[in-house]
Amino acid sequence: MFNAPIYDHDFYSSEFISNPQPHYAAMRKLGPVVYLPVHGNFALTQYQSVKMALLNHTIFKSGLGVAADDFGSNFLQGNIVASDPPRHTELRKVMLPTLSPKELEGLR
């Protein structure tokens, strides 16, 4: 098993939701990757780690779920955030023109 520091807090607790910043700071202090036993997954806590994961869809899969629990992952399945190439690429190609700076400027 991957040897990562453990952060044993529930992301869905009222305490966490009402004030998440101290939790994020605590996780960043632990390292770039933190194991979350309450949810059975890992959190990436630093910019370079997140960037590397976003660019490497061979190792870091989104299509298998991106939420902290099965309900959220199942709910989001097929969404652009919770998909891998080629599906993600297809969705992005369709959505990108409507999210261009020119298009968004009209919404101001």
Q: Give residue for tokens 């370079």.
A: 48
* Residue 7 falls inside a structural domain: no
Residue 108, pLDDT > 80, answer yes
* Residue 94 falls inside a structural domain: yes
* Residue 23 falls inside a structural domain: yes
Spatial contact of 33 and 44, defined as CB atoms under 8 Å apart: yes
Domain that holds residue 20: 14-105
CA 72 to chain CA mean position, Å? 12
**Residue 26, Cβ neighbours under 10 Å: how many?**
13
Q: Write out pLDDT tens, residues 30-55.
A: 999 999 999 888 999 999 999 998 88
* Residue 45 falls inside a structural domain: yes
1: confidence class by pLDDT, cuts 50, 70, 90: low
pLDDT (0 to 100) of residue 67: 76
* Residue 98 falls inside a structural domain: yes
Please give the full DSSP string across 66-95, using - where no structure is assigned.
-SSSHHHHHHHTTSSTT--TTHHHHHHHHH
pLDDT (0 to 100) of residue 13: 94
Question: What's the total number of domains in the chain?
Answer: 1
* Residue 4 falls inside a structural domain: no
Q: Write out pLDDT tens, residues 76-85.
A: 888 888 888 9
Q: Which amino acid is at 72?
A: G
